[in-house]
Amino acid sequence: MTTTVEQLSLEEKIAQLVFVRMGSNLPPIVTASDDEERVAALLEDCPVGGLLLFNGVWPEVRASLGRLQAKVKTPLLVSADLERGAGQQLAGLTVFPHARAFAELGEQTQADLRRAIEITAEEALQAGVQILFAPVADANTNPKNPIIATRAYGEEPAAVAELVATVVDAMNSAGALAAAKHFPGHGDTSQDSHAELPSVDHPAEVLHRQELVPFRAAIAAGVPLIMSAHVCYPALDPSGEPATFSKAILTDLLRGELGFEGAVCSDSLLMAGATGRYESEAEMAAAALTAGVDLLLDLAHPVATVREMSAMVERGDLPLERVDEALGRVMRLKERVAGVTPFSPEIGAEQRDANRVFAAAAAEGAIRIFGDGPPPTLDPKKSTTVVLTKPFNLPTDPAKQPLADAIGQLLPGAQYFEFGPEIDQVAADAAVAAAADSDQVLLAVIAKPAAWHAFGMTDDQRRLAERLAADTKTIVASLGVPTILADFPADRPKLCTFSDVPASQQALARKLCGGA
């Protein structure tokens, strides 16, 4: 380290606890590299401890992060949501299926999951990202959960715990920093904490044998970070404070009872589950810090917030001891990755291709067929209609989903229709007519969690899907949660990929076409 803790001013100490965004995949979309100049200017005014990377492009992002690291006296911790591989936020690198898909690989689950994590860590570190906000340690016990769902490794706490421990161990071995989330458990909510404040109302004994089980496994495996949930747990904290702001949960339970000695990071402090409770962002950040959070993620106004928090310390409203304690944990994380970063050698095209082949194999192995009949197939010699629905439109979506190209290559004569949340009736009628005239029909439904977005099918999509599924020749596939398949007639052939990533969509097409 160029700068020691003793050399930091009070404002610099607090700034080291702050992580800010670099890039955005929400409107207005900005790549991480295009955001480099703004971040560099911010670092001059406020030497934050780390970055939250969004919408990076390989290999430009590697160069951008290298230049930013060269500007700072204390190395930056760079983090990203990489639950589905480095390609989730670094275009050009590998994208893996959602976590739930790996639980379907049977005997291969442990080995393939470990290899996927090794690839993710290797690619991330070579791009300059050290903290991978994974694994999701929530057991998805509520089938109506709109934000965890396929991001979890399953529904049974013990099974999830085993895979969470594998992820943590693999990341530790690879030199990356894992962050188990969302403590003490977001899996039994029916609300999205990005949009509102959920509550899990189980008795404490239920929380201990259900929600906490995977987190205990993560701690035993040596997880260096745990991310708090913007969720209330009245049995753990009767005051009603969300976990992010609850000393009873983050200090008494997590550190005192569970013995966690690593760093606690908040979930994004821009989320509705965190905002609106305090008069200023500084008061919100100070409350999280006081409760036991060490890394304050996603502040909107870092310069003003750091200054106001410094004034709180000087007035005696925020203990300096708590700042120093959090700072010590941040610095230990930086020391831990100092031998791994700056960057290891750039990953080559041949290795990236091999990584994508591995992801494709994992996606195909995860596909589950439901029902007792013969495996559903699509015959290239027969006329085919394919209809795909997606519950929302993202600014980063391609013009057509990957299934369109995959079907086009394997079934060149197939008719393909794609519908977002709002469906034009004329287009819907055209799809139904095409399906009626075809020998075989595939209805593919994307049902996945995403922040600030609807989960499942819209009313318009359900009406269209019901019209298509009324025909016995229709095959129904879920590109996400399997529970949505229960909405269709029991005698229809059904499949589930447990993910909608390109590899999973392409694997579905290959599976139905006999691996052609």
CATH number at residue 234: 3.20.20.300
pLDDT of residue 344: 61
* Catalytic-labelled residue, pool 81, 267, 294, 500: 267
What's the domain count of the chain?
2
Mean pLDDT per segment of 10 residues, for the chain of length 516 residues? 78 98 92 98 97 96 96 96 97 97 96 98 95 97 89 97 98 97 93 79 96 98 97 95 97 98 96 86 97 97 98 97 98 90 73 96 97 90 96 85 97 96 94 98 89 74 95 96 93 96 98 80
* Catalytic-labelled residue, pool 98, 182, 186, 194: 194
Domain annotation covers residue 342: no
Q: Is 98 among the catalytic positions?
A: no
Q: How far is CA 232 from CA 193, 239, 242, 250, 383, in A?
A: 10, 9, 4, 12, 53
Same domain, 321 and 383: no
Same domain, 96 and 178: yes
CATH number at residue 395: 3.40.50.1700
Same domain, 318 and 379: no
Calpha distance 116→120 (Å, rounded): 6
Same domain, 21 and 80: yes
Given phi > 0 = left and psi -120 to 50 = alpha, else beta, which region is 62?
alpha
Domain annotation covers residue 230: yes
Furthest-apart CA pair in the chain: how many Å?
78
Same domain, 208 and 88: yes
Calpha distance 298→19 (Å, rounded): 6
Can you read off the two tokens belonging to residue 194? 């990005």
Domain annotation covers residue 352: no
pLDDT of residue 514: 85
Calpha distance 263→225 (Å, rounded): 5
pLDDT of residue 264: 98
- Among 293, 317, 337, the domain boundary falls at 337
Question: Would the pTM of this model clear 0.85, i.e. be above it?
Answer: yes
Same domain, 318 and 433: no
Domain annotation covers residue 495: yes
Same domain, 178 and 79: yes
Same domain, 328 and 408: no
- Among 316, 337, 358, the domain boundary falls at 337
Same domain, 485 and 399: yes
Q: Residue 21's beta-bridge partner residues?
A: 52
pLDDT of residue 451: 58
Q: Is 487 among the catalytic positions?
A: no
Domain annotation covers residue 196: yes
Answer whether 156's CB lies under 8 Å from 106's CB: no
Can you read off the two tokens belonging to residue 208? 């201990």
Domain annotation covers residue 425: yes
Burial of 487 (0-12, 13-18, 19+ CB in 10 A): middle
Q: Which helix (H) or strand (E) holds 213?
A: helix 212-220
pLDDT of residue 516: 45
Q: Assign 193 to helix, strand or coil.
A: coil
Tokens 């990929």 -> residue: 497
Q: Say how far residue 328 (Cα) sits from the centre of its chain.
A: 27
Can you read off the two tokens belonging to residue 157? 């706490």
- Among 321, 337, 353, the domain boundary falls at 337
- For residue 381, give its domain range: 367-512
